[in-house]
């Protein structure tokens, strides 16, 4: 059931002992939304904890170091920035059919929760968390402000992606003006600081990039062997996908990242007008018009073939 802010407020003010689910391969938006919501619930005197299938990347330690919350048996289950229960990883089996509230901005959301606060026009889930806090009249702490700024900045590609709304700029400005967050430091660590291994892997990916369908599609794969050779972890691959749409003629870019179980996590990017969410939905994924994703089983050559065929169908 889709709900608005009034129903979401009523639910949150009356909930107890909440577990907040974030998606596997966590990024700045799901981490920011999860920990930001935890701060808001704390203002209401409600105990909560943030959980994820994967370890939170160390570069987000300035958000996570305050702690994800004590362990307890939850009475309330909330999901943030999760469009599909498959993105919960191991937590799908525990909480997949128990989610009472989902707060999300993905138009491909499967409406799996009892209540879904969906704003498909929002830049990030953190934008919705901010609006919800404002609607509820709940105080935003400096830590919460850092969480919300980080989520909006990372999901907008530092405010350069097509999904960036005027409201996202306004909220970011409010976080800077009223809470004196160190936005320059946040942006440096989110977008500019890289390990030597990652720099080498970026060069390798550009070298191995394949251009198909008359150059309209660029596709590259990062295998487990490549990550081991460069001493790069899966968490360091966040932000790699835009490498695939750097060439002027490219319309769609796909970055494939091999997980330890041999499944490929595929990130799609659209350079112009192609709706990659529609493409991903056709192969079991989803997301936004300009940025979407799916998972696909190997072997690599067969997986690539399926992805290329899906894009070819979309391009006509």
Distance CA 52, CA 30 (A): 10
Q: What pLDDT is recorded for position 186?
A: 97
Q: What pLDDT is recorded for position 69?
A: 83
pLDDT digits 0-9 by tens, 166-218: 999 999 999 999 999 999 999 999 999 999 999 999 999 999 999 999 999 99
Distance CA 40, CA 133 (A): 7
Q: Please state the pTM of the whole predicted model.
A: 0.89
Q: What pLDDT is recorded for position 234?
A: 86
Tell me the average pLDDT across 37-61.
96
Return all residues near 204 (Cβ < 8 A) that are at least 6 apart: 226, 230
Distance CA 310, CA 307 (A): 5
- Tokens describing residue 57: 């990347």
pLDDT digits 0-9 by tens, 255-280: 999 999 999 999 999 999 999 999 99
Confidence label for 129 from pLDDT (cuts 50, 70 and 90): very high
Domains of the chain from N-terminus onward: 5-190 (3.90.1640.10), 196-315 (3.10.310.30)
């Amino acid at each position: 059931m889709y709900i608005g802010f009034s129903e979401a407020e009523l639910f949150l003010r009356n909930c107890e002992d909440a577990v907040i689910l974030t998606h596997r391969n966590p990024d700045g938006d799901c981490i920011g939304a999860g920990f930001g919501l935890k701060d808001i619930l704390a203002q209401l005197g409600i105990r909560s904890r943030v959980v994820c299938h994967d370890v939170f990347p160390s570069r987000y330690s300035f958000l996570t170091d305050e702690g994800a919350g004590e362990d307890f048996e939850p009475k309330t289950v909330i999901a943030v920035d999760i469009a599909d229960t498959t993105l919960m990883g191991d937590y799908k089996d525990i909480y997949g059919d128990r989610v009472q509230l989902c707060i999300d901005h993905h138009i491909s959301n499967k409406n799996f929760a009892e209540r879904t606060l969906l704003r498909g026009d929002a830049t990030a889930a953190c934008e919705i968390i901010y609006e919800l806090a404002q609607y509820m009249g709940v105080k935003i702490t400096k830590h919460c402000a850092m969480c919300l700024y980080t989520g909006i900045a990372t999901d907008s590609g530092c405010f350069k992606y097509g999904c960036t709304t005027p409201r996202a700029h306004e909220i970011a400005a409010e976080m800077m003006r009223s809470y004196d967050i160190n936005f320059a430091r946040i942006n440096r660590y989110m977008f500019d600081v890289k390990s030597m291994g990652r720099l080498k892997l970026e060069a390798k990916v550009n070298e191995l990039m394949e251009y198909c369908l008359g150059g309209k599609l660029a596709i590259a794969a990062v295998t487990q062997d490549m990550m081991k050779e460069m001493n790069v972890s899966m968490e360091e691959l966040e932000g790699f996908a835009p490498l695939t749409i750097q060439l002027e003629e490219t319309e769609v870019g796909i970055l494939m990242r091999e997980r330890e179980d041999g499944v490929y996590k595929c990130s799609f990017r659209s350079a112009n007008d192609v709706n990659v969410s529609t493409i991903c939905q056709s192969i079991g994924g989803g997301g936004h018009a300009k940025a979407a994703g799916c998972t696909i089983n190997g072997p690599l050559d067969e997986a690539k073939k399926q992805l290329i065929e899906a894009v070819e169908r979309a391009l006509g």
